[in-house]
Amino acid sequence: MPKVGMEPVRRAQLIDATCESIFRFGLADTTINKISGLAGVSTGIISHYFGGKNELVEATMRKILIDLGEAVSSRVRQAKTPRQKIWAIIEGNFSHHQTSLRFVTSWLAFWSQAMHVPSLAKLQNVNRRRLQSNLVFWYRRLLSPEEAKIAADGMAALIDGLWLRGAFEQQGFDSQKAKAIAFDYLNRQLV
């Protein structure tokens, strides 16, 4: 019998290598040769486990969004008050793992790519709406419906904007600074 149970291992390996390649070369210059080279496997494996490059890229995006969602929701669960819940959402978005350049680079590449690839757009929309509706839910506990809508849209945009600009910081993403800005915004929203 051949080695069994390799599937989850290989899939994780290849998704990691895809992130690494997007980080190093950009999505446009990410080829299955580079991915399989980084993963230390042959190119054929990609078709074998994912069907093709597109599916691997999609799986990578899904992984990133799921990780991000989990980082947020695990923190939100532990929070008590509505204010702490929003705080937790911000914290989750700027937790260490999420702000590694490796992560942010892929996130940005996907955001751009999603505009023209339906399967990615679907994932992107789910994620975008999740952040927005989470925020609205807790802001409503503290503000009028109209104010909550504006506050949530503003905070969601600020979080994504901090990521976006953070991706270009020479000295790497400064998550402390990002959090400080977001918390400052939050304090001002809640008077």
Would you tell me which residues interact with DNA (CB under 7 A)? 1-4, 6-7, 10, 29-33, 40-49, 52-54
User: Using the rule CB under 8 A, is 115 a contact of a copy of itself?
Assistant: yes
Binding site partner of 118, from a copy of itself, DNA, none, Cβ cut-off 5-8 A by kind: none
Nearer to DNA, 49 or 163 (CB): 49
Contact 88, 78 (CB under 8 A): yes
Q: How far is the CB of 25 from a copy of itself (least distance, A)?
A: 6
Cα–Cα distance, 56 to 47 (Å, whole number): 9
User: Using the rule CB under 8 A, is 188 a contact of a copy of itself?
Assistant: yes
Cα–Cα distance, 122 to 59 (Å, whole number): 13
Of 2-31, which residues contact a copy of itself (CB under 8 A)? Answer: 25-29
Give the position of tokens 């993963």.
39
Cα–Cα distance, 100 to 182 (Å, whole number): 18
Binding site partner of 116, from a copy of itself, DNA, none, Cβ cut-off 5-8 A by kind: a copy of itself
Binding site partner of 45, from a copy of itself, DNA, none, Cβ cut-off 5-8 A by kind: DNA
Nearer to a copy of itself, 7 or 12 (CB): 7
- Binding interface with a copy of itself (CB under 8 A): 25-29, 105, 108-109, 111-117, 121, 124-125, 128, 150, 153-154, 156-162, 164-165, 167-168, 177, 180-181, 184-185, 188-189
